[in-house]
Chains A and B, each alone.
Chain A
Amino acid sequence: MMLSLAILALLSVAAPWVCRYAGPARGVVLAAFPLGIGAWFASKIPSVADGGGIVETFAWLPELGLELTFRLDGLGLLFALLVTLIGAGVLLYAGTYMQGHHQIGRFFAYLIGFMTSMLGLVLADNLILLFIFWELTSITSYLLIGFNHDKKESRSGALQALMVTGLGGLAMLAGLVVLAFAAGDLAGVAGGVWNMSELPEGLSGHAHYPWIVALVLAGCLTKSAQFPFYFWLPSAMAAPSLVSAYLHSSTMVKAGVYLIARLHPNLATGTAEGLWEGLLIGFGAATMFVGAYLATRQTLYKRLLAYSTVSSLGVMVMLIGMGHPDAAAAYILAHAMFKGCLFLVAGIVDHEAGEKDVAEIGRLFRAMPATGMAALLAGISMAGVPLAPLAGFVAKEKMIKAGLDAGPLTALLTALIIAAGSFTVFIAIMTGFKPFFGKAQREPKKHAHEAPWPMLAAPVILAVLGIVYALVPALFATPVVTAAGEAIKGGPFEAALRLDAFYYYEISLALGLSLLATLIGVGIYFGRGLWVKATSPFAKLDGVVGPARMYDYAMLGLTKGSWAQTRVLQNGSLQVYIKMTLVAILGMFAWAIWRTGALPSVGTNFERTGLLEWVLIISIAVSAIVATRLGSRLATVAVLGVIGYAVAVVFALYGGPDAAMTQFAVETLIVVIFVLVVYHLPRFAVYSGLAVRMMDLLLAATFGGVMACLVLAAGSQELFAPISAYFNEAAMPETPDGQSAYGRNLVNIILVDFRSVDTLGELVVLGIAAIGVYTLMKLRDDHEGTPVAEREGDEDEREGGNA
């Protein structure tokens, strides 16, 4: 498993070179890897279905107890198959679809990078590892949605997806941490339980359970585009079609569903009234209905599919919440087939006929028969047409049966399922039938023709698999769905799962309702003009108070808020910064004194002070005051020199000859530099009024007084033993022994041996300052006659160089 992740990660890095050298064969070459990995996963179906999982552990930082644990069980297997096999098909498709794009190498790197993250996500057993892969899918998805970054809607769609899923992810991280520690409480493990397979029973009784549920679901519901966070998914349709097919229908958006399913055995309360189940049913049912309804008002191919995907994700969440893991797993697998197929068909129609709007086009079947057949099969499957032996029909029957078995919620949920089902039938007709067999409003923009085989392979195979699913379920559907369902349930099913379509061919209420939904859907299709007119008042309302609008308001508020705080806190005035810093530090002192209730004790052991010290101190004091008052630049230089030399003498007297020598030399050089520039400096000017100066003086004097007290207080404290005793011991051995510094001047030894890394850093700072001076004075470009816009670019670069 880890090997497969490593292979994909390397492939992602190598993708640009593969694209360059493999030419048109790039799709085939790249698709071979995930196909092989998928085949390996497929070979594990029998053993996993028998309950034998695979666990791999890699000791990452054993000293800290950090281990990377990966686990393959039924649920992970279902998703790993979707990720690798649909991924292989999509790569093959992309090799042709993206042909001629100037950044094709980058595209494949992103796409395979996403594939790696998604595979890691579904295989990870460790919570932190899961979170890292979770965020990686968000980031790679951002890059893929915004791939056509020269278009505004791509950028805003990518940002919207990242904001919504990223914020949800942060909430989820908090939830996972709380979960791990709560589990640690229950299992009696200090430091928390971080492996999902080791989570103990009875989490729902823990005091933090509501927090865990709320925070984890915040992540899952945003990622899986549940109501009211669904709006990012339609915006994400700015991505190339195959990205939508792969990320936004088959894999990434199901990450939230995956995690819900993964944690279901641990977080479920076992009753439909429980917090976990209640939230899942509520959000899932609302999403299912709203998504399907909104889809009926779309005419763009991909947006129709996007909203219907929102609806499907709601179905999955709802089915898990209702306690029908078998139905959920069956639906996940069926949905990946028909929706993945239709998204790819949408890409073909766009690519080969130049059309995006299904309301306009029709009769494309003659030009592209294979595509049309695939779309029709997928459409019938999606609609779940009664008695059509396709995957969608089986999944839909199981869903309606679940709705009819929902206790007190039966009436409400069944009604919502049938309503959403009717809308779905309509969407299926619009996407699977209308473009190929319906009436055309006009001729397609491009001369329509059949797609080349690499683009046809995936949709056709997916459509055919939909038949195999329902006719020969034992081939792959039953073992995979059973294993996944049992993993969600957290135990084996009582009865064998029936996924063969003919099992559902009986006169029953479920079949009748299914027929009813189909008829309503067909009805909407024929009366769609009327339908759009009837629902437009709701659409207007959605435009004013809908979730997408709320997101816009929130973003606007964020921008305005940060603008306002920048103007107050970062207004570019140095004086304001200094004042704020001083006030903050003084405030902290005041707070500390208030908290401890006393001023820090000041040492009382004051010794006699010699005459030389008095002279030095007084000269520094007088100079410091004079320096602030002088109007003459040259005199100020002299006064500063006095302070510098006096400080040097203080160092020399009190045991610091090295520092004193340095101070003398530096002071001399400073005077040299001042002499060089002093007449090129502006004259001293007084810009502030008297009141401002007095305020500044008060603030500065207060701070100075506090610093003086701090010096006195600190002098009499000993928090820990000084390290100089060690320096004294380690400095000078009899002979060099490889442990000691071997020198007599402790200050110098500290600089060049004990703390030489510090010194190295300081040398680098010096070098940068020298380069700064050099560039400031020597590299001046002549700006005259250059437009402002170009100057800005120059200055940015220069700032970057100095930073």
Chain B
Amino acid sequence: MSLLLAAIIGMLFASALYMMMRRSFVKLTIGLILIGHSANLLIFTCAATRRDGSMERLPPGLIEEGQTRIEGEFADPLPFALILTAIVIAFAITAFTLVLVKRAYQEVGTDDLDNMRTTDR
């Protein structure tokens, strides 16, 4: 799984950056969404990977009723906490960018970023 995950993270980064380098504002937005997923998966690898580099389905960081700690292996909760907030922030950024695209298209009449450069008079 770790090898596959590494490959998929690389692939997601590649397509995200390719989209972000396009001159079309909508495509840039899609690139932003993709790079959010890539980054989240990157952080995720820290949570689920063992120290020897192997990866397994570990139980979540939940303490059983009546216990005071988790016995045995469990998935590192800190990366998941970071991912959780990152997801919500990425959502807000995506929504904001979509609105910006729509508004800019409405005002400027183009979605070509190269043509928008001259609009900040």
Contacts and interface: CB of A to CB of B under 8 A. Distances in A.
Nearest to A722: B76
A769 B2 CA distance: 35
Contacts of A57: none
Given A574-B28, A657-B60, A773-B95, A663 B87 contact: yes
Contacts of B9: 707-708, 711
B114 to A, nearest CB: 7
Contacts of A572: 117, 120
A20 interface: no
Given A609-B1, A654-B48, A620 B57 contact: no
A4 interface: no
Contacts of A791: 121
A21 interface: no
A658 B80 contact: yes
A564 interface: no
Contacts of B92: 765-766, 769-770
B55 to A, nearest CB: 7
Interface stretch (A70-78, A175-183, A243-251, A751-759): A751-759
Contacts of B38: 707
Given A603-B2, A640-B30, A747-B80, A704 B54 contact: no
Contact of B54 (A605, A610, A707): A605
B63 to A, nearest CB: 4
B51 A716 contact: yes
Interface string B107-120: 00011111001001
Given A604-B53, A747-B61, A687 B17 contact: no
A643 B100 CA distance: 24
A782 B105 CA distance: 17
A653 B87 CA distance: 18
Dominant SS among interface residues on chain A: helix
A715 interface: yes
A530 interface: no
B12 A682 contact: no
Interface stretch (A468-476, A554-562, A667-675): A667-675
Interface stretch (A137-145, A255-263, A409-417, A622-630): A622-630
Given A670-B94, A724-B77, A703 B17 contact: yes
A635 B36 CA distance: 20
Contacts of A706: 10
B4 A609 contact: yes
Contacts of B117: 571-573
A714 interface: yes
Contact of A746 (B51, B54, B62, B100): B62
Interface of A: 571-575, 578-579, 582, 602-607, 609-610, 613-614, 617, 620-621, 624-625, 627-628, 633, 636, 640, 643-644, 647, 650-651, 653-659, 662-663, 666, 669-670, 673-674, 677, 680-682, 684-688, 696-697, 699-701, 703-709, 711-712, 714-716, 718, 722-724, 727-729, 731-734, 744-747, 749-751, 755, 758-759, 762, 765-766, 769-770, 772-773, 776-777, 788, 791-792, 795
Interface of B: 1-28, 30, 33-34, 37-38, 40-42, 44-49, 51-65, 67-70, 74-78, 80-81, 83-85, 87-96, 98-103, 105, 110-114, 117, 120-121
23 contacts: A573-B114, A574-B20, A574-B113, A578-B21, A606-B2, A613-B4, A624-B11, A643-B12, A644-B37, A650-B41, A653-B57, A656-B47, A657-B60, A670-B94, A682-B105, A688-B23, A700-B18, A706-B10, A708-B9, A745-B62, A751-B81, A772-B99, A776-B103
